[in-house]
Amino acid sequence: MKLRLCLRTCLLVVLLAVLVSAANSPQLAAIPAAVQKFVDNETVAGAVTLVARNGEVMSVAAVGFVDLAAKKPMREDNLFWIASMTKPMTAVAVLMLQDEGKLSVNDPVEKYLPEFKGQMLLAARTNGQVILKKTRPITLHDLLTHTSGLNAEAPEVGRDLTLAERTLAYALQPLQFEPGSKWQYSNPGINTLGRIVEVVAQQPYAEFMEKRILKPLGMKDTTFWPTASQARRIAKSYAPGENNKGLAETNIFFVRGELGDHHRTALPAGGLFSTARDVAKFYQMMLNGGAANGKIYLKPETAKLMTTTQSGDIKTGFTEGMSWGLGFQVVKEPTGVTAMLSPGTFGHGGAYGTQSWGDPKAQTIYILMIQRAKMQNGDASGIRQAFQEAAAATVRN
């Protein structure tokens, strides 16, 4: 018994030494160093990066400040508004219901939301008149690939509209183009999918997400409504200062009132707050073919479907060489900011510059967490490219 205990202790010591050595390796140090440059030149206040490979987290690093005025250092466990990185998680909820035989992505939206029945297409505007014509019904597949033509936001009414109210407003607007004919990024489309989850699952969208995805995956710091404790860990958001000099604190534009106020609608298109480690858990599940910790979230063929091109030859995305899966962007031809990634890498960015990508060939996850408003194009940002280049180089060594 004593010999066995001694051997276990020795193994733990050796393992710890290996982990410490890896954490202090020059290769891993290059990752935060690459991002630190963007703190130094005041592009961002701070950042958290995470790189995982073959199911193991290789590097988590925090640089800069969570609060510039207070000079409070960024920490690995800080929360960020991940904005549109919510979209793939919503898509997983939809495909889970397909796996259960409760819906099909090829179904028309009007099957679940009758208000979309008879929706028209905006054909032209002539002499102040709007000319409409009939079109085919939009499908869940159209919504998942942003090819539905649905792109009119709900009106401002002085309060947060429920998902049911939002989707009714979307349905009353004409489509911008023939469904399936082109790509146009659509927050209303993903919000509509969230409403379909509510109708099919017969429970609130946020409750489904919490019980079926976030909690089982151990994403304890991923939420639509941060608690008081979590709110204290949220990185402050910054935008360019006056005359584009330095950084000025800004707000999260869709939040009115307290962060933890449950009266604010949980937005399927971009309402979640999270941490780097939590987001990595979601991407590891997808790299595993829809499984994690002995639990099946998606059938392997479903996870594959979601993370391979479903948009055909339609030009999509915010950078060259991209395509669209079901809820995920997919790298079709690596180039520029994606040059270091393998074809088939899937992921999504967020409005304030956050990025999350899973490379199935290299079995690598790249997570970049920042809170930088008014970026011209977060998907094509210099900080994203510098981070991924440093991380990919580390993975290859």
In a domain, 9, yes or no: no
- Is the per-residue pLDDT at 1 higher than 50? no
In a domain, 17, yes or no: no
Task: Measure the CA–CA gap between 128 and 297, rounded to whole angstroms.
Answer: 50
**Strand pairing report for 237-240 and 295-296:** unpaired
Give residue-wise pLDDT tens across range 111-144: 999 999 999 999 888 887 788 999 999 999 999 9
What pLDDT is recorded for position 2?
47
We report the CATH number of the domain holding residue 347 as 3.40.710.10
In a domain, 146, yes or no: yes
Residues 62 and 189 in one domain: no
Give residue-wise pLDDT tens across range 172-223: 999 999 999 999 999 999 999 999 999 999 999 999 999 999 999 999 999 9
Q: Which residue among 159, 181, 205 closes a domain?
A: 205
Give residue-wise pLDDT tens across range 3-18: 454 445 444 433 333 3
Phi, psi of 122, rounded to the nearest 5 degrees: -75, 105
Residues 50 and 188 in one domain: no
Residues 310 and 326 in one domain: yes
Residues 195 and 293 in one domain: no
In a domain, 8, yes or no: no
Residues 273 and 365 in one domain: yes
Residues 190 and 273 in one domain: no
Give residue-wise pLDDT tens across range 55-78: 999 999 999 999 999 999 999 999
Confidence of residue 82 (pLDDT cuts 50, 70, 90): very high
> What residues have CB less than 8 Å from 24, skipping those under 6 apart?
none
In a domain, 291, yes or no: yes
Phi, psi of 264, rounded to the nearest 5 degrees: -75, 130
In a domain, 252, yes or no: yes
Task: Measure the CA–CA gap between 370 and 49, rounded to whole angstroms.
Answer: 9
- Is the per-residue pLDDT at 23 higher than 60? no
Percent of the chain with pLDDT over 70: 93
The mean pLDDT value of the chain amounts to: 92
Task: Measure the CA–CA gap between 36 and 31, rounded to whole angstroms.
Answer: 9
pLDDT (average), residues 87-109:
98
Task: Measure the CA–CA gap between 101 and 370, rounded to whole angstroms.
Answer: 38
Residues 187 and 87 in one domain: no
Range of the domain at 351: 29-91+207-396
What pLDDT is recorded for position 154?
83
Q: Which residue among 190, 205, 220 closes a domain?
A: 205
Task: Measure the CA–CA gap between 329 and 202, rounded to whole angstroms.
Answer: 29
Q: Which residue among 183, 205, 227 closes a domain?
A: 205
Residues 336 and 267 in one domain: yes
pLDDT (average), residues 27-36:
94
In a domain, 15, yes or no: no
Residues 183 and 123 in one domain: yes
Residues 147 and 113 in one domain: yes
In a domain, 98, yes or no: no
> Total structural domains in the chain?
2
Residues 184 and 332 in one domain: no
Task: Measure the CA–CA gap between 330 and 22, rounded to whole angstroms.
Answer: 31
What pLDDT is recorded for position 179?
97
Confidence of residue 25 (pLDDT cuts 50, 70, 90): low
User: pTM for the whole thing?
Assistant: 0.92
Q: Are 64 and 47 in contact (CB under 8 A)?
A: yes
Give residue-wise pLDDT tens across range 232-268: 999 999 999 998 889 999 999 888 888 999 999 999 9
Task: Measure the CA–CA gap between 317 and 146, rounded to whole angstroms.
Answer: 10
- Is the per-residue pLDDT at 282 higher than 60? yes
Residues 267 and 198 in one domain: no
